[in-house]
Amino acid sequence: MDTQGPQTKKAQKNSVAWRRRVKSEYMRLRQLKRFRKAEKVKFQFLVNRNKIQEKTEMLNEEWKKLRIQPIPATPCIGQLSTKKCVVEYGFPEFKSQTVMMRTLNTVAGVPFMHSWSPLQQNFMVEDETFLHNIPYMGDEVFEQDEAFLEELIDNYDGVHGDREGKFIDDEIFVELVDVLSKYVDEEGEEKEDGQEGDAEEVEEEEEETETVKEEPESEETPLITGKRKTVTKRCEQPPSNRIPHDKIFKAIASMFPDKGTTEELKEKYKELTESPSPVKLPPQCTPSMDGPGAQSVQREQSLHSFHTLFCRRCFKYDCFLHPFHATPNVYKRKIKEIRIETEPCGLDCFMLLVRAITDTTITVCTGSYRLHWH
């Protein structure tokens, strides 16, 4: 029992430190993204401003060649200064214009309302995981069962009041995982400052021992130096194909529970970091006929996506009302179940009449056929 207490305290302390680290890095990445967006907006504004300036100069040059009669300004006589609007120009050659101001009365806005309309069919939707408000069940419920509120929040993924998860996107998620991976080494252990200091001391001691060693022991020195070089290279160049440790995804999942569990975040990181191969295509998929990798395939294979994704009942792609793969039809046609009789049932059966008509038709056709040849 004595060993479990410090271990649990250490694990809790480690989780709190990781949550604090995730939050600080997340806020830093958000601020950095905001600065990048602001710089991009400023640059685009300057580009648009230069284009507008060029167009304005071209129009001014064209206006100088035209004969324009200016409209005299209508002075406002007997009106208050608040009842007129003055239009001023930034160019000195244009005079200011005054216009009568028309006051528009305020109109009350339409109040917000929700209405319900009947549907002709059912629509498949995902379960709601956000608890927007806590329903009031009465004071007696909370007094008798104190765990009711906690169980209610747990059923909704515990995202009540958590608004930070809405701002994280795929780009910030990948950057956050890459930034947090520097705190974890290849074995999944944290890189603490004390360990870094010990590593520096070990390197200094190795350098001192290398200088003190005699010539017979010089064969071992390249091994030590080569080992130290590989360690430094390994720290400087983190492998790109390696998946980060589970601690990172666990900490992100605890901070953003609506983004999924630890395994879901790991799979999402794999999908986002995998480089899409231009040659590799999904199964049963043909390359574009207009692209460089066009292939000559059969009609069924080229139209496989159309036949698979297009719904003949809704006349749209990716229909979620009907299954992707056609289910076996349990309803059989009643016409096929009726047994077709081949022999007449009696003297007054219709098959005798049909057979007589067909025999007469064949005789007439044969006679005309012979008559035609004779």
Does residue 334 have a pLDDT over 70?
A: no
Regarding whether 177 and 250 lie in a shared domain, the answer is yes
Q: What is the pLDDT of residue 311?
A: 83
Both tokens of residue 253? 């999942």
What is the sign of the dihedral through the CA atoms of 303, 306, 309 and 313? negative
Rg of the chain over CA atoms, in angstroms?
Answer: 41
Regarding whether 61 and 27 lie in a shared domain, the answer is yes
Among the ranges 75-84, 194-203, 241-250, 328-337, which has the highest mean pLDDT value?
A: 241-250
Regarding whether 175 and 48 lie in a shared domain, the answer is yes
Cα–Cα distance, 294 to 302 (Å, whole number): 11
Q: Which of 11-25, 62-76, 240-254, 292-306 has the lowest mean pLDDT?
A: 62-76
Q: What is the mean pLDDT of residues 122-151?
A: 68
Regarding whether 330 and 249 lie in a shared domain, the answer is no
Regarding whether 308 and 264 lie in a shared domain, the answer is no
Q: How confident is the model at residue 326 (pLDDT cuts 50, 70, 90)?
A: low
pLDDT per position as a tens digit, 21-62 = 888 888 888 888 889 999 999 999 999 999 999 999 999 898
Phi, psi torsion values for 317, nearest 5 degrees: -85, 155
**287 in a structural domain:** no
Both tokens of residue 184? 């974890």
Q: Which of 98-102, 152-156, 251-255 has the lowest mean pLDDT?
A: 152-156
Q: What is the domain range of residue 329?
A: 296-341
pTM over 0.85: no
Regarding whether 168 and 47 lie in a shared domain, the answer is yes
Using N-to-C axis directions, what is the helix angle for 246-255 and 262-273, rounded to 10°? 110
Q: Are strands 97-100 and 316-317 parallel, antiparallel or unpaired?
A: unpaired
CB 252, CB 260: distance < 8 Å: no
**134 in a structural domain:** no
Cα–Cα distance, 228 to 221 (Å, whole number): 11
Q: What is the pLDDT of residue 57?
A: 93
**176 in a structural domain:** yes
Regarding whether 250 and 178 lie in a shared domain, the answer is yes
CB 287, CB 305: distance < 8 Å: no
For residue 224, how many C-alpha atoms fall within 13 Å in the half-sphere facing its CB?
Answer: 16
**320 in a structural domain:** yes
**Max CA separation in the chain (angstroms):** 129
pLDDT per position as a tens digit, 165-216 = 446 778 888 888 888 888 776 445 544 444 444 444 444 444 444 443 444 4
Q: Which of 34-48, 157-171, 235-249, 272-286 has the lowest mean pLDDT?
A: 157-171
pLDDT per position as a tens digit, 152-163 = 766 665 554 444
Q: How confident is the model at residue 293 (pLDDT cuts 50, 70, 90)?
A: confident
**48 in a structural domain:** yes
CB 257, CB 165: distance < 8 Å: yes
Q: How far, CA to CA in Å, does 304 sit from each of 35, 57, 89, 288, 309?
A: 46, 56, 63, 13, 8
Q: What is the mean pLDDT of residues 260-289?
A: 75
Regarding whether 169 and 31 lie in a shared domain, the answer is yes
What is the sign of the dihedral through the CA atoms of 347, 349, 354 and 355? negative
Q: How confident is the model at residue 319 (pLDDT cuts 50, 70, 90)?
A: confident
The number of domains in the chain is 2
**135 in a structural domain:** no
Q: What is the mean pLDDT of residues 263-291?
A: 74
**371 in a structural domain:** no
Q: What is the pLDDT of residue 251?
A: 85
**319 in a structural domain:** yes
Regarding whether 16 and 59 lie in a shared domain, the answer is yes
**E strand map for the chain:** 84-87, 97-100, 310-311, 316-317
What is the sign of the dihedral through the CA atoms of 185, 191, 196 and 202? negative
Regarding whether 337 and 259 lie in a shared domain, the answer is no
Q: Say how far residue 211 (Cα) sits from the centre of its chain.
A: 58
